[in-house]
C-alpha cells in the first residue's frame, strides 16, 4: 500500500517559468544582466551539488550597482524582493490543487522535492495558492545542498515524513533528475510525460496528466 506521494514541483504541479524580466522587476533603476544570465554566469549549479542561493545573486546585484561597495541591508532587501518576484511566477497547473486534495483524502502523505534556488520562494508560492496545508514536507535543493538525482534529497524528504522508500511513489517530468533519482533510493517512479518527451524506460509507469495519479493510488489500495 502506498503511504506517500512525492512530487516534483516545476512542470509537474506548477508551471516552471523564470522570465527575462526578473532583474527589471527587482532592480529597475539600473541596467544589470538578467537573472538567468547571472545564475548561469556564476556557475551556481554544478552536477548534483547545489551551491546556488538568492543571497549570491542579490550580493552580485548590489555590488554591481554600488561599484563594489556592499550594503548588507540592501542585499537583504534585494534578496527578499527576488523571493517575492520568483514566487509570483510560480503558478499551479490546472487541476493540481484538486488532485493533491484528493490524494490527501485517501490518507496518503505528500511531499514536494524540487531543484530550486529558494526554499522561501517555493513555500511562499505554495501558501499563496492554498497548497501548503495539504503538504507534509517541502524539500528543495537550496535547503539540503544537493540536487536531484542525488539520493540524499529524496532520503531527506522520506525521513521527514517517516515513510520508507518502498512505500512511496515519486511523480516527476524529468527522466534523469526525477525518475532515475527516485529509483536509486528504492521508490517507485511515475513519469509525467510532457510534449515531445519519450517515456522513461526506468519508470514504473507513465502518465499524460497529473489526475491519473489518483487512479494509480486506487489500484494500489
- Measured CA to CA, the distance from residue 215 to residue 2 in angstroms comes to 12
Asked if residue 26 and residue 11 are part of one domain, the reply reads no
Crossing angle of the two packed helices 119-128 and 72-88, in degrees rounded to 10: 40
Nearest CA to 58 out of 31, 37, 81 is that of 81
Last residue of a domain, one of 66, 88, 110: 88
60-63 LR contacts (CB < 8 Å, sep 24+): 61/23, 61/26, 61/27, 61/32
For residue 1, the model assigns a pLDDT of: 86
For residue 44, the model assigns a pLDDT of: 57
Three-class secondary structure assignment of 103-165? HHHCCCEEEEEECCCCHHHHHHHHHHCCCHHHCCEEEEHHHHCECCCCHHHHHHHHHHHCCCH
Asked if residue 98 and residue 83 are part of one domain, the reply reads no
For residue 43, the model assigns a pLDDT of: 62
Give strand pairing partners of 206: 191
For residue 48, the model assigns a pLDDT of: 55
108: containing domain: 4-15+91-220
Asked if residue 134 and residue 109 are part of one domain, the reply reads yes
- Measured CA to CA, the distance from residue 115 to residue 136 in angstroms comes to 18
- Measured CA to CA, the distance from residue 170 to residue 112 in angstroms comes to 10
Q: Domains in the chain: how many in total?
A: 2
Three-state secondary-structure class, residue 44 = coil
Asked if residue 56 and residue 81 are part of one domain, the reply reads yes
CATH of the domain at 187: 3.40.50.1000
pTM for the model = 0.92
In 162-215, the DSSP E strands lie at: 168-172, 188-192, 205-207
Q: List per-residue pLDDT tens for the chain, 221 residues long.
A: 899 999 999 999 999 777 788 999 999 988 998 888 887 777 655 555 555 578 888 999 999 999 999 999 999 999 999 999 999 999 999 999 999 999 999 999 999 999 988 899 999 999 999 999 999 999 999 899 888 999 999 999 999 999 999 999 999 999 999 999 999 999 999 999 988 889 999 999 999 999 999 988 887 75
Asked if residue 84 and residue 95 are part of one domain, the reply reads no
Distance, CA of 214 to chain centre:
21
Amino acid at each position: 500500500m502506498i503511504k506517500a506521494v512525492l512530487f516534483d514541483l516545476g512542470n509537474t504541479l506548477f508551471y516552471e517559468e523564470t522570465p527575462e524580466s526578473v532583474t527589471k522587476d527587482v532592480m529597475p533603476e539600473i541596467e544589470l544582466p538578467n537573472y538567468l544570465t547571472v545564475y548561469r554566469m556564476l556557475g551556481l549549479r554544478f552536477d548534483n551539488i547545489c551551491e546556488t542561493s538568492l543571497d549570491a545573486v542579490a550580493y552580485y546585484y548590489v555590488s554591481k550597482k554600488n561599484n563594489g561597495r556592499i550594503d548588507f541591508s540592501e542585499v537583504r532587501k534585494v534578496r527578499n524582493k527576488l523571493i517575492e518576484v520568483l514566487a509570483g511566477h510560480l503558478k499551479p497547473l490546472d487541476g493540481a490543487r484538486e488532485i493533491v486534495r484528493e490524494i490527501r483524502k485517501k490518507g496518503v502523505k505528500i511531499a514536494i522535492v524540487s531543484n530550486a534556488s529558494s526554499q522561501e520562494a517555493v513555500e511562499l508560492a505554495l501558501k499563496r495558492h492554498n497548497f501548503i496545508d495539504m503538504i507534509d514536507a517541502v524539500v528543495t535543493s537550496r535547503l539540503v545542498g544537493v540536487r536531484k538525482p542525488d539520493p540524499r534529497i529524496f532520503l531527506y524528504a522520506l525521513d521527514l515524513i517517516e515513510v520508507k522508500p518502498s512505500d512511496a511513489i515519486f511523480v516527476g517530468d524529468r527522466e534523469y533528475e526525477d525518475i532515475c533519482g527516485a529509483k536509486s533510493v528504492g521508490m517507485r517512479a511515475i513519469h509525467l510525460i510532457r510534449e515531445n518527451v519519450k517515456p522513461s524506460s526506468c519508470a514504473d509507469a507513465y502518465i499524460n496528466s497529473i489526475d491519473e495519479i489518483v487512479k494509480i493510488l486506487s489500484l494500489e489500495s
